[in-house]
Structure 1
Amino acid sequence: MLKGQELAAKDNRTSGQPQRVADHVAIIMDGNGRWATERGWPRLVGHRKGAERVKQIVRCAPDLGISWLTLYAFSTENWKRSTEEVLGLMSIFARYIEREADRLAAEGVRMRFIGDRSRLDPKLRSLMAGIETRTAPLKRLNLTIAINYGGRDELVRAAARLALDVAAGRLHPDDVDEAELTARLDTAGIPDPDLVIRTSGETRTSNFLPWQAAYAEYEFTQTMWPDFLPAELARIVGSFGQRERRFGAAQGA
């Protein structure tokens, strides 16, 4: 069986077209709960299976030419779920950080988080800050996890920072532009995604990176996240390599 990088390379050789690298891939990891429910299991079983899938995808990403990987783990709207599920998810996040810290560091993975941390448990926030500090010098893969993240919420918080800087005289109103707003987003210093993937058959963007993904390519797959294998990621990345990204220019320009 071909590995992920070999699969992507085979797709490109077959097409005869030059490869376009998906340097930054962002994934909406959807379908964990439904995957478990369809099998008659509690939803948290699906989330635990999803965490195992994260390990595989993180491990294979650099071999596919991916330098930046952003995963949507918990949205600002997910607090509407049952208390049991929310607490279970927070426990899974904490356990992932604790158990994977050594491996991530050994494999050169820098880990960071985006989203509003103020509502998270202090222990989880401490674990997040600790692994961010520990892995900050690493460069093989930049892994970003979105927890309590919502694109509109992020934009509101960034706009508030802009307003404070203007009010304090640190920034002139005429100097407010895209770059100044971008610098105040949670993703400051992180390149915009080239490709956004959503699993489980849903075709919504669900408030995920609305500013950053304005010109990203999208791929919606029927596969639920627990079944999303490295081979499928390789296929999607290979397909992305054949797309023409014009950014508003005319075709062929």
Structure 2
Amino acid sequence: MLQWAQRRVQAAYERLLRREISGAPTHVAVIQDGNRRYASKQGGDAPDGHRAGAQTTEQVLHWCQEMGVEELTLYTFSTENFERPDHENEALFDLLERKLYEFGDDDRVHDGEVCIRVIGDRDALPERVREAIDYAERRTEHYDSFTLNVALAYGGRNELLNAARDVASAVEAGELDPEDIDVSAIEDRIYDCPVRDVDLIIRTGGDERTSNFLPWHANGNEAAVFFCTPYWPEFSKIDFLRGIRTYESREESWRRAKANRALALVRELGGVELEEARSVIDRFRGNLPEESSVEELGIEELDVDGESSVE
């Protein structure tokens, strides 16, 4: 009876969260923490936790597609994880190999047109895992409806360091002018295929840190971050929806701050950069304080010569 009541409450809360959410982030990145601690709590070994976590991964993939998320990145194995006991890593590599082959053949993957890609130092992985990666990527490379990035042997600092080295080598070889070094020059050297900026990072397991995960695509985009206490195998749809709600709150706050900065620009600078400020205000008019408006600030329309004035 108690379990039935709990399920009813959870279902009601899930419906409430779903009604509160009006959209979804384009790119969600997840730090899947707590598999080993979950296994220990259950009286099992680390491989038991990883197997349970793999089931959660499949559920999250479905939830993302259901919500309209277009890209999901999973932090599955970091460069630091190589320091764990060999028997634990070997069991995890066995699981990764099997799951990659399964994903490559899964009808749900093909029906949903999911493109599977692996990011990280794949050369550091066992050959059998690399072969499974090649299989999954080759089987799904022509899809573009949804992208699943699996971060294996991944380290954000190494990623940026290698990109910086490539840029330096290109400059030294005369292939790249220092004046031409821009965002695209770095991004083109991070991955073979483009990765969208991260909108939301979710971390399970209770720790409140992002652990060197996607520094270029997350920090540069000021991604929202949602930390939650459940271990990864315990991560529920309610937790996922709460993460989406955090993203929406973060976006609303960002839009309001952007609109207020535009208003401050108008007040302080008058005609200087007024056209840019006006365009920002128009974009975020719904987020402006009720007591403020372009008209109340006395901003006249730009004249034919492109000049503006403030009364």
Shared fold (TM-score, shorter chain, > 0.5): yes
Amino acid in the other structure paired with 1:235? R
Aligned position for 2:70: 67
Task: Determine if the alignment matches structure 1 residue 238 to structure 2 residue 260.
Answer: no
Task: Give the whole-Å Cα distance in 2 for the aligned partners of 1:80 and 1:217.
Answer: 30
Task: Give the whole-Å Cα distance in 2 for the aligned partners of 1:4 and 1:225.
Answer: 20
**1:20-59 map, 5 Å:** 20-59=23-62
Amino acid in the other structure paired with 1:110? C
1:8–1:237 contact (8 Å) kept in structure 2:
no
- Alpha-carbon distance, 1:186 to partner: 2.7
1:33–1:43 contact (8 Å) kept in structure 2:
yes
Task: Give the whole-Å Cα distance in 2 for the aligned partners of 1:146 and 1:248.
Answer: 34
How far does the alpha carbon of each residue in 1:15-72 deviate from its partner, in whole angstroms, 9 at most, with x for none?
xxxx353110000000000001112111110011101111111122111111000000
- Alpha-carbon distance, 1:107 to partner: 2.6
Task: Give the whole-Å Cα distance in 2 for the aligned partners of 1:63 and 1:48.
Answer: 24
Give secondary structure in 1 for the equivalent of 2:170: helix
Task: Give the whole-Å Cα distance in 2 for the aligned partners of 1:129 and 1:4.
Answer: 41
Aligned position for 1:10: 19
2:206–2:228 contact (8 Å) kept in structure 1:
yes
Gaps of 5+ in 2: 1-7, 262-311
2:119–2:151 contact (8 Å) kept in structure 1:
yes
**1:119-198 map, 5 Å:** 119-186=124-191, 188-198=193-203
Of structures 1 and 2, the one scoring higher in RCO (CA 8 A, sep 6+) is: 1
Aligned residue pairs total 247
- Alpha-carbon distance, 1:105 to partner: 2.1
Give secondary structure in 1 for the equivalent of 2:152: strand
- Alpha-carbon distance, 1:6 to partner: 5.7
Amino acid in the other structure paired with 1:11? E
Task: Give the whole-Å Cα distance in 2 for the aligned partners of 1:250 and 1:234.
Answer: 26
Q: Which has the higher helix share?
A: 2
- Alpha-carbon distance, 1:11 to partner: 1.5
C-alpha RMSD over aligned residues: 2.3
Cα distance change of structure 1 residues 169 and 67 upon mapping to structure 2, 3 Å threshold: same
Task: Give the whole-Å Cα distance in 1 for the aligned partners of 2:238 and 2:196.
Answer: 25
Aligned position for 1:87: 90
Task: Give the whole-Å Cα distance in 1 for the aligned partners of 2:78 and 2:200.
Answer: 19
Aligned residue among 210, 217, 232 for 1:225: 232
How far does the alpha carbon of each residue in 1:172-225 deviate from its partner, in whole angstroms, 9 at most, with x for none?
122112221122113751111100000010011111111211110000000110
* Normalised TM-score (structure 1): 0.90
Task: Give the whole-Å Cα distance in 2 for the aligned partners of 1:167 and 1:124.
Answer: 35
Task: Give the whole-Å Cα distance in 1 for the aligned partners of 2:16 and 2:104.
Answer: 29
Q: Answer with 1 or 2: which has the greater Rg.
A: 2
Cα distance change of structure 1 residues 109 and 174 upon mapping to structure 2, 3 Å threshold: same
Gaps of 5+ in 1: 13-18
Q: Where in structure 1 do 4 or more consecutive aligned residues deviate above 3 Å?
A: 1-9, 247-253
Task: Give the whole-Å Cα distance in 2 for the aligned partners of 1:248 and 1:164.
Answer: 43
How far does the alpha carbon of each residue in 1:57-105 deviate from its partner, in whole angstroms, 9 at most, with x for none?
1122111111000000000100110001111111111010112222222
1:26–1:195 contact (8 Å) kept in structure 2:
yes
Task: Determine if the alignment matches structure 1 residue 111 to structure 2 residue 111.
Answer: no
